[in-house]
Structure formats: structure tokens, C-alpha cells
Structure 1
Amino acid sequence: MTTTPITARLAVLIDADNTSPKQVSALLEELATYGVATVKRAYGDWTTPQLGGWKAELNRHAIVPVQQFAYTSGKNSTDSALIIDAMDLLYSGNLDAFALVTSDSDFTRLATRLRESGKTVYGLGLRKTPQSLVAACDIFIYLEVLGERDEPSQPDEPDDAGEASTPLPNLQSLLSRAVNATADDDGWAHLSAIGSYLRSADSSFDPRLHGFPKLVALVEAQPYLTTTGSGSGVRVGLKGKATPASAPTRKTAAKKSRAQPNG
């Protein structure tokens, strides 16, 4: 899986026609964990009342609005403007990664093209985002996990806007495969290796989609998994398959400490 350092220079390109301004603060905060947002641009027809709520957010976050008139009814010219800018930025050679904020499958080819050029691509969109775009990104983050969902009212949505939310994969099957794929001969897998596998297998995997803030909390809550170690040394095994560790598991140790009387 491609990764970028925390000091990576990011281009954040927002499809304002398909993104609510109320989600901007949360998504920029999320992207700050991946790098520095050197370029921040939002694309849309700013003469339309549908984008009126964006003004305050553009000023607050120093996002540059890019005007694109809708010359033909029913055609989204915003897509073309964003794609052209993305390619110009790619060839400038000053950026390490791109963040495409959209739920529109029309940007699938752009994402794959940027990755072909060695750039990391982060996608951010709603759960209705087509799987083609999700899979085209190194990491895809659903906006619903960043805060309350608040979609803008739009008269001319893209063809895929009416699709239902993408169903979550079977969690037990996914985690079991991850442990088996990364475990050593004793049946134990490092949590960091599991995390890397999960992101490689499913770019949209996120513990927050399952109600947990971190991966370690998610695996500890699964009855078919057992954990040992702490901090960066946490290891995970399938119950009944992993060789008993020399040290008690985190869950077992916690139970023993509660059971012991104060002496």
C-alpha cells in the first residue's frame, strides 16, 4: 500500500456540487493526519443559490473557489475543471498526494491516473459513492464517519446520486482473513500488519464505520479474536488457533487485576 509522510504536500480538490460545506472542517481535520493541505480548491458554479452556504467555509479555511459555469443544462462542467487542474498540478511536480472530495464516479479515471504517476490518492465521499471510485483510491474515507451527514439540496445530481449506501463487508470474514494472511507460524499477527492488510484489501475500511475509534478497540471487541501486548506491540490471533502467548492477553490481564484484592 502506498503511504505518505505526515509532512506530505497535499492537493485538496473539492467537488462543491456534491459536498456539503458543513463537512469541510471535519474533512480537512481528517486530512491533516495524512499531510499538509498545500493546495485547497473548491469547484462549482458559484453564481447558483445552491452553493450559497459555501462562502463562510471558503473564507474560514482559505479555500480557493474555482468558477465553472454550467454552459449546458444537465451537464456537469465542474468535473472537467477539476480534472484539468488536477493534471496541471500533477505535472507541476510540487505535490506528494491528492485528496479528491467527491461522491461522483466520473472521477474514477482521474484517481487511477494519479496513482499511475506514483501519487497517493485519498478519496472522501458519501456512502453512496460507487465502488469504482472507492477502489481507485489508496484510501477512501466516508464523510459520514467524520460527523453528521448533511447533504446539500441539488436539482441536478449525477446519475449515481440515487444509489443506496454501499453495504459493509462481513467483519468477521474480513478480520479473520487479515489475521491469517499476516500471522507468523504461531498464529499471531501484529496489529500494524493487520491494519496495512485491511487497507490494501479494502481502501474504505475504517473502524469508525463499525462504531470504534481505533482498530485496536475493534479487534478487542470481537469474541473470535484474542490479543496480547500493548502499545505498538499489540498482536492478534484467532481464538483456538494461535499458540498461547507467554504473557497473558490484554483482556485476561485486565480481568485478573480486577479480581486481585488490594494488599
Structure 2
Amino acid sequence: MPNQPKPDNNIALLIDADNAVAAKIKFIISSLATRGIVNIRKAYGNWAKDELKSWAEVLHEYAIAPKQYFDMVRGKNATDMALLIDAMDILYTKQVNTFCLVTSDCDFTPLVLRLREEGKQVIGFGLQKAPKPFVRACTHFVFLDKNDTTKPKHTQSKPNQPQPKQTKPLQTQPTRTPDTTLKKNTKLMNLLRTAVKENTGEDGWASLGQVGSHLSKQGEFNQRDLGYAKLIDLFAAIDLFKVENRKQPGHPRVQLRQNKS
């Protein structure tokens, strides 16, 4: 008898096809494969619509069950409610620890909050147009169009013709936000302070790894958006914190300076 997957590795993938891109499903499935087993796969939509024809092939290829719901009234559809009902049924009848919602629709924010109240992880996949309340409600949100680049076409070169030297594209890095500006960002300061305090041990220090893990669960936080390649660089730039980067167990680590307000 094959080994049964652990309940906390089971993932439910629920797709709002009206607000999702079929071409991204391979990336989504691959991303979820690193987190567990996607045993429940459902996509909701009115498949009679021409706009959803691109889903026909991928639904079969990735074993996603299509759920048909016709539009009851022009401009409205029943798919959102159907997805919501199924999510709640799964919550109470299946051993699922992680829900994945593929949508950019803010209407699902109450559902995300309800699932998280039950201790479930909620991973969102959507576009950058997704409203911030929905993005921040998710445990983790992936913007499918944030790094959407197309590979340049290569022309066939003639025999014995030397190949032009390839140059690496310049990668732009946001300008580092100065210390004074960072400290004026009350939301950011509260976020960093809380992350450090929640992970501070008896010695008064917090492991930077644990702090980073705490911050990664707080929605869209990313120190790179502030111009800092590493999290330790961000803390080191703010004089409210003290950092140690020695090559010892438990390092690097960070501490909140008590004499700073």
C-alpha cells in the first residue's frame, strides 16, 4: 500500500478562471509542488465564453476539474459564489492545510481572512492589479506578471561566422532609502520591531533567519523594494537596531536598541 500524504501537505487549488491567466498554470503547479501535494484542483467559470477557451487544453493537461456556472444576470456571474461554497466545504470536510486561490478579485478577501482564522495557509496567485487588501490578506501572494519577460528570438548564424559576444543586461536596483526616511515610515518600523521582538531569545538577540521568516508571512514585504539586497543590510542602515554578522551558530542576528525610541 503506497504511503499516504500527510494531511498538512495537502493543497487545494481553486481557480477563478474569469480573473486568471491560463498560460501561467504550469508555473503555478510547479510552485505548489515545492510546498506539498495538490490533491484538489478546480477551476470555475462559464466555459461557454470565448474568453475562457484558452483554458480548455490546460484543464485536461493538469487534471483540473472544470466547474461550469452560467451567468445568471448580465455583468454578474455565479462562479465567485461557487468557489466560496466549495472552499468552505473543503475547509470542514477535507484534511487540507493550504488553500491556493488563483485570482485578482478583491471579492475573495473575506474568504481568505476566514480561512486564515482557521489556521490555514492561503497562497494567492494574481496580477499586479490585484487590490492591496486582498494581497495583504494572503499568507503569501505571487504576482504572475511581475517578472513576465519574453526571451529574444535568435537568428541563425552563417557557418564559421563568429558569434557576437553576449553582454549581460544591466539589472536596475532601486536607490537605497535613507535611514531618516525609513524611520518616518511608521508601518515599516512597527513591522520590523514586531518581527524582532517576536523572535528575541533570552540573550536579547533575534536570529535574522527567524526574523526574515516572520516578515515573509506579512504579505508583500520585500527589502529589495527599499533598495537593500539583503535583510541584514536594511537593519544595519537603521540605527534603531544593532546587528551582528559573525560566522557563529545563530548568526547573523539583530537586536532592538533599548535606548532608541
| TM-score bracket for this pair, using the shorter chain length | 0.5 to 0.7
CA displacement at 1:206 relative to structure 2: 4.8
Q: State how far apart, in whole Å, the 2-side matches of 1:231 and 1:20 are.
A: 46
Match of 1:190 among 207, 212, 215: 207
Residue deviations 1:130-173 (CA, integer Å, cap 9, x gap): 2222233222222234x4179xxxxxxxxxxxxxxxxxx98786
The Cα RMSD (Å) is: 3.6
For residues 72 and 114 of structure 1, do their structure 2 counterparts lie closer, same or farther at Cα, with a shift above 3 Å needed?
Answer: same
Q: Which amino acid aligns with 1:219?
A: L
TM-score normalised to structure 1 length = 0.66
Q: State how far apart, in whole Å, the 2-side matches of 1:70 and 1:92 are.
A: 28
Q: Structure 2 stretches of 5 or more lacking a match?
A: 1-5, 151-176
Report 1:167-182 matches (<5 A): 174=188, 177=193, 180-181=196-197, 182=199
Q: Is the helix fraction higher in 1 or 2?
A: 1
Q: Structure 1 stretches of 5 or more lacking a match?
A: 151-168, 242-263
User: Which residue in 1 is equivalent to 2:135?
Assistant: 134
Question: Conserved in 2, the CA contact under 8 Å of 1:123 and 1:137?
Answer: yes
Q: Which amino acid aligns with 1:78?
A: T
Q: Which amino acid aligns with 1:203?
A: G
TM-score normalised to structure 2 length = 0.66
Match of 1:204 among 220, 234, 243: 220
CA displacement at 1:7 relative to structure 2: 5.6
Looking at both structures, which has the greater relative contact order when contacts are Cα pairs under 8 Å and sequence separation is at least 6?
1
Question: Conserved in 2, the CA contact under 8 Å of 1:141 and 1:206?
Answer: no
Q: State how far apart, in whole Å, the 2-side matches of 1:34 and 1:196 are.
A: 15
Does 2:224 match 1:224?
no
CA displacement at 1:47 relative to structure 2: 1.0
Larger radius of gyration: 2
Question: Conserved in 2, the CA contact under 8 Å of 1:45 and 1:69?
Answer: yes
Q: State how far apart, in whole Å, the 2-side matches of 1:25 and 1:123 are.
A: 15
User: Which residue in 2 is equivalent to 1:14?
Assistant: 15
Residue deviations 1:7-32 (CA, integer Å, cap 9, x gap): 61010001111111111111222222
User: Which residue in 2 is equivalent to 1:165?
Assistant: none
For residues 180 and 95 of structure 1, do their structure 2 counterparts lie closer, same or farther at Cα, with a shift above 3 Å needed?
Answer: closer
Matched residue SS, 2:48? coil
For residues 60 and 208 of structure 1, do their structure 2 counterparts lie closer, same or farther at Cα, with a shift above 3 Å needed?
Answer: farther
Report 1:93-104 matches (<5 A): 93-104=94-105
Question: Conserved in 1, the CA contact under 8 Å of 2:20 and 2:102?
Answer: yes
Number of residue equivalences: 213
Q: Which amino acid aligns with 1:224?
A: A
For residues 210 and 51 of structure 1, do their structure 2 counterparts lie closer, same or farther at Cα, with a shift above 3 Å needed?
Answer: farther
Q: Which amino acid aligns with 2:230?
A: L
For residues 179 and 99 of structure 1, do their structure 2 counterparts lie closer, same or farther at Cα, with a shift above 3 Å needed?
Answer: closer
Residues 203-212 or 8-17, more deviating: 203-212
Does 2:164 match 1:148?
no
